Structure 1
Amino acid sequence: MINRRKLLKTGAAAGFAVSAGGLAMPALAQGTRIKIGYVSPQSGPLVLC
């Protein structure tokens, strides 16, 4: 019979195992350039809606 405590322990262990599996994957943007900047209005005021 499964009780609440056993269900929570099993769920926590499964969640940790799933999330830790993604840590060993290589970065997808490796070897590509990343542009860093900001968008600013060139003609007129910035309108925030």
Structure 2
Amino acid sequence: MVDPWGNTKAGFEINGKVNRKDFGLNWSAVTEAGGVVVSDEVKLHLNVELAKG
């Protein structure tokens, strides 16, 4: 798309999830109540805007 000043731009919304252990992030801890501090599943929500220079 072209903005009011004539600049070409593109925007994207990206949603997904990854397993942090797939990237070697194996650290974890347990709370006093026995709950996990860090989940294996990490949710990603990205809003990206690109401008052509």
Same fold, judged at TM 0.5 (above)? no
Normalising by the residue count of structure 2, what TM-score does the alignment of the two structures yield?
Answer: 0.23
Q: Which has the higher helix share?
A: 1
Q: Which has the higher strand share?
A: 2
Normalising by the residue count of structure 1, what TM-score does the alignment of the two structures yield?
Answer: 0.24
Where relative contact order (Cα < 8 A, 6+ residues apart) is larger, the structure is: 2
